[in-house]
Structure 1
């Protein structure tokens, strides 16, 4: 691990207050369109799926509708499969991997399971290429009761009303070079702590729930993704992002304690994918395909 210079906002050692958060927010700009890239694609899926609006985020210049795409013939006797993307809006292949799964594979699984997909949980983060929401809150640490992040509250409330037994939840993410260059330094500045960076793994890996790790499920995903792109090797300490390997390409986190998206339900089979889009050995298209392969590999293992 290596330390980096102090972040440009705030006073080292002092947590941010409202003034620092406002200064940070003022620096954020829209770089791409949630409506063009995501909503327009969701609209084309309505011929095969039910599309539900489960919330609205009134942020800055835009008001963002939040959408779920569901199996049309919902059957409460079938198991439920949940796929989430864009919890961190800047993690592009998570959003487009969820959409690609819907466009190419989801109908196959809808024959034996209820499929529900939230392609972009953080649309403001998608547009501004950001990890946080406009309140400088990380949604992937905020899936908790009375969440401070509306992105999380809307989905938590919706899932409470869902009919059927949730069996699988796959949450699509990326680990990028900007985790070290921007987001971890910003986090340390916000919290008033000293920043230490981890080595960014070159390749795909999984973060499993320490309390529901299901090694066979994780292995099936790794084997499926290996056909598309390379799996990250551990660093010299045998770790990925500072955590010891649990198995090939897999580390464990305490999902519910940390407020992670993969901890929002009690599904038996859960995992978080991590694609590395900055690798010289992977293209943006491969990253999207890796996300789809992760979903299908896990579902094939569980639903076979």
Structure 2
């Protein structure tokens, strides 16, 4: 793999200061509408769900309200499921897949689960198609106390306000060609490091928690998604994005150490999905459907485990 320090902002080997961050921010611009593509769709769901506004981004509070939807009939006797999308705003199917799940599948599972869906955690990132927020902070590395990302802090407050345990958390993401073309080179430049090129996996994969891997749970999700899109193979070194496979289509990260969104609860079942929308083998619809399949595969697995436990009781 080749290394480089040729990103157009900053001085090689020196972390960015305020001037470099301002230069980076000046390059960002609105490329799509959070109102039209997210808020209007959530409003169209009407009375089918309970709507929660759990904050608004200070960059433009009127433009960027933070919304989540809950299934009706919330019951403390039912297990609670958390679904998040758009923590990285540029990862489109995470947002649209979460909304499609709400529209097509969530009510089918409401008898068994309380379900909370925060479909677009980073709306500024969604509109500008960015991984970071305007302060050049990655929300998906900011899920810890005194978070530097208001997107992450708001979601943590929302989850804490539920005052209940979360059984499962499915965090919806994508890995795109722009990761290697823009976002990872920018990250290296921001931190004063050389950028080391990698390859983008062609296909869907999961990131589990190395401290709580739940391999059977991950396997069930991979099986469900494989009916919709192809699963990413390992590269020539037997890895995906530099990590060894723990099982087909799955790598594990220390999610709490890294401050990832999937670490914000103490759930039994947790996973992060990664769809590859730039593959010539998939369409936008199939990417959204893969996210929906990941969620339903996870929920079906949990229901099957509950049924088996009842039979054994």
Q: TM-score, normalised by structure 2?
A: 0.95
Deviations 1:105-163 (Å, cap 9, x if unpaired)? 00011110100000000000000000000000000000011100000011111111214
Distance in 2 separating the partners of 1:19 and 1:193: 18
Q: Distance in 2 between matches of 1:2 and 1:247?
A: 28
Aligned twin of 2:311: none
1:11 aligned onto 2:20: no
What secondary structure sits across from 2:25 in the alignment? helix
Between the aligned partners of 1:153 and 1:11, the Cα distance in structure 2 is: 31
Match of 2:288 in 1: 288
Question: Residue 63 of structure 1: CA displacement?
Answer: 3.4
Q: Indicate yes or no: 2:260 matched with 1:267.
A: no
Flag structure 1 segments of 5+ consecutive residues without an equivalent: none
Listed as ranges, the matches of 1:31-50 within 5 Å are 31-50=31-50
DSSP 3-state at the match of 1:206: strand
Equivalent residue, structure 2, for 1:299: 299
Could you tell me which residue of structure 1 aligns to residue 93 of structure 2?
A: 93
Offset of residue 164 of structure 1:
3.0
Partner residue, 1:109? 109
Measured at CA, do residues 50 and 60 of structure 1 come closer, stay the same or move farther in structure 2, by a change above 3 Å? Answer: closer
Structure-1 separation of matches of 2:303 and 2:267:
14
In 2, Cα distance between the equivalents of 1:4 and 1:105?
A: 45
State the secondary structure of the residue aligned to 1:251. strand
Name the Cα RMSD after superposition.
1.1
How many aligned residue pairs are there? 304
Report how far residue 5 of structure 1 moved: 5.0
CA contact (8 A) 1:84 1:98 kept: yes
Superposition pairs of residues 108-187 of structure 1, within 5 angstroms? 108-187=108-187
Deviates more, 1:2-11 or 1:94-103: 2-11
* Shift of residue 4, structure 1, vs aligned partner: 3.9
Q: Equivalents in 2 of 1:104, 1:278: separation in Å? A: 25
Q: Distance in 2 between matches of 1:6 and 1:187?
A: 12
Mapped pair 1:213 → 2:224: no
Residue 60 of structure 1: how far off its partner (Å): 5.5
User: Which residue of structure 2 aligns with residue 65 of structure 1?
Assistant: 65
Task: Quote how far apart the aligned CAs of 1:197 are.
Answer: 2.0
The SS at the match of 1:66 is: strand
Counterparts of residues 245-264 of structure 1 (less than 5 Å): 245-264=245-264
TM-score, with normalisation over the residues of structure 1? 0.98
What is the CA–CA distance in structure 1 between the aligned matches of 2:42 and 2:71, rounded to whole Å? Answer: 13
The answer on whether the counterparts of 1:78 and 1:165 sit within 8 Å (CA) in structure 2 is: no
